Amino acid sequence: MNTLASNLGRRNFLALAAAAGAGAAGLSAGEASASQGAAAADLSETNVALIRKLYDAVNKKDLAVIESYGDDDSEWLDVPFKFTSTGRRAIIDPWKSWFNIFPDATCEVRSVVGLGDYVVAQGTGRGTHRGVFKSPAGELAPSGRKMAVSFCDVYQLRDGKILRADSYFDFYDLLNQLKA
């Protein structure tokens, strides 16, 4: 979140600089601010739509769409595992692994909020444990048990691609459900 805070600080500085420049160009600070606010709102709206489309693809197991979000600069961090994947496959590979463990996996998204380049999605992931799960608690053989785990994913996007994704979920709740 330090990156988010520093980016927000940078954005505020840039907004002030733009407003000052607008004043020199004969625009009021309010007009310049309104223009920037509209641009930021449009970017947020676009990015929220992209993340909603990502979860639709996850629920349909549309690997081509999921893979299209990757870029050479992409990073995906599974926070509970402290594992980061990088590069063009950084977005598709974690999802493919998840589908191998939970072939019927779905994500019910409860909220999606955008702030410029950043989007936060919260919801519940569900699935049936049908594949081997190599977890921090060791290798878990398929149990056939159903699970439902809350998640919060924080995305940073650039030009329609996921630059960074931090995926948070309660691994111990998941583990308890699979071992019950």
Q: Is the pLDDT of residue 4 over 60?
A: no
Domain boundaries, the chain: 2-179
Average pLDDT over residues 150-155: 98
- Look-up: residue for tokens 């050479």? 72
Cα separation, 24 vs 136, in Å, equals: 58
DSSP 127: E
Sign of CA dihedral 58, 69, 119, 42: negative
pLDDT tens digits for 22-75?
444 454 555 545 555 566 678 889 999 999 999 999 999 999 999 999 999 999
Beta partners for residue 151, in sequence order: 123, 169
Cα separation, 63 vs 96, in Å, equals: 8
**Topology annotation, domain 2-179:** Nuclear Transport Factor 2; Chain: A, (3.10.450)
Using a pLDDT cut of 90, give the percent of the chain over it: 73
pLDDT tens digits for 60-114?
999 999 999 999 999 999 999 999 999 999 999 999 999 999 999 999 999 999 9
pLDDT at 120: 98
Residue type, 169: F
Average pLDDT over residues 138-157: 97
Sign of CA dihedral 75, 78, 84, 87: negative
Q: Is the pLDDT of residue 157 over 80?
A: yes
Coil, strand or helix: which one is 156?
strand
